[in-house]
Chain A
Amino acid sequence: MDHDAILARKAAAGDTAAFTILVRGHEGAVRRFLGRLSRQQGSDDLAQETFLRAWRRASDYRGEGTYRGWLMRIAWTVFLDTRRAAGRREEREAAIPAHDVAHDPNQSLDLQRALALLGTRERAAALLCFGEGCSHGEAAEIMGLPLGTLKSILARARAALVERLEN
């Protein structure tokens, strides 16, 4: 059993100190993923909700797969729930031209513009596989998609990114 799994088990038993260690270890990846995915719109609130859900459902983590992967899956679900609740936000996002994306000092402008070209699922798949180093299987698990679907989404994202880089 790895270190995270031991801490997760303690957190499931109500140990807040163990959970804080997990937060410290994974907040960077979760906030980076959500920040890039949501284009920084309330990404810290999304990250907070992600960690609160992880705390409430701590006993659901059974040590299958990495703890980070489990957290990322929660983060993806939180993002989708929030977007659904926000109704038509996606349509408004799609209407933002690539050069009008708000500048985030933590990301290169190239990356922001490249991500702005992608749809939500392509962006998430690219962020997980290219940004966070997840395997295709892990990314498919996180996004709740069949492996084949994930691969085709990722291929579309890759093609769009390559086109952007060539321009």
Chain B
Amino acid sequence: MTEDEKIAALFADHQRSPDEAFVARIARAVEAERRMAAMRAAAWRRFAVECVASVAVVASFWLVWRLAPASLPTGAIATAPAAAAAVLTLGLWFGVVLRPAATGK
């Protein structure tokens, strides 16, 4: 027996049939991973939609400030437009967070 044959014999391993318990364990882990990835993607989508909505709200207040005649009661907005927009956005945010049906809580 040559040295190479001895080494080959040392590493020789009998072929076995697949370990179904291990295969099932991996299948479960992959399924969990897949569900987690789907949830993560949904959360990112929701976040993106909320960002767009927030930008739309801020943009609409900015437009109101730019277009509102000074004689209207909204003239206060023209005095401190950024603060007014921030207060209104905060108010809307509280409205969304405190309304359970809106967040699915």
Residues of A within 8 A of B (CB): 14, 16, 19-20, 23-25, 27-28, 31-32, 44, 47-48, 51-52, 55-56, 108, 110-111, 114, 126-127, 130-131, 158, 161-162, 165
Q: How many angstroms between the C-alpha atoms of A49 and B31 in the bound complex?
A: 14
* Interface residue count on the B side (C-beta < 8 Å): 22
Q: How many angstroms between the C-alpha atoms of A114 and B11 in the bound complex?
A: 10
Q: How many angstroms between the C-alpha atoms of A28 and B19 in the bound complex?
A: 8
| A31 and B22 contacting across the interface, CB-CB below 8 Å | yes
The residue from B8, B13, B31 contacting A32, defined by CB atoms under 8 A apart: B13
| Given A23-B27, A55-B30, A111 and B22 contact (CB-CB distance below 8 Å) | no
- The B interface, classified by DSSP as helix, strand, loop or mixed, is helix
| B3 and A162 contacting across the interface, CB-CB below 8 Å | yes
| Given A24-B23, A48-B26, A51-B26, A16 and B18 contact (CB-CB distance below 8 Å) | no
Q: Could you say which residues of chain A place their CB within 8 Å of the CB of B10?
A: 108, 110-111, 114, 130, 161, 165
Residues of B within 8 A of A (CB): 3, 6-8, 10-11, 13, 15-16, 18-20, 22-23, 25-27, 29-31, 33-34
Q: Could you say which residues of chain A place their CB within 8 Å of the CB of B20?
A: 24
| Given A27-B19, A131-B13, A48 and B29 contact (CB-CB distance below 8 Å) | yes
Q: Could you say which residues of chain A place their CB within 8 Å of the CB of B6?
A: 162, 165
Pairs A-B, 7 closest by C-beta atoms: A131-B11, A24-B18, A130-B11, A51-B26, A23-B26, A24-B23, A55-B30
Q: How many angstroms between the C-alpha atoms of A52 and B11 in the bound complex?
A: 27
Shortest C-beta distance, A165 to chain B (Å), equals 5
| B34 and A20 contacting across the interface, CB-CB below 8 Å | no
| B29 and A162 contacting across the interface, CB-CB below 8 Å | no
| B22 and A158 contacting across the interface, CB-CB below 8 Å | no
Shortest C-beta distance, A22 to chain B (Å), equals 10
| B22 and A16 contacting across the interface, CB-CB below 8 Å | no
Shortest C-beta distance, A19 to chain B (Å), equals 6
Q: How many angstroms between the C-alpha atoms of A31 and B27 in the bound complex?
A: 16
| Given A28-B16, A131-B11, A52 and B29 contact (CB-CB distance below 8 Å) | yes
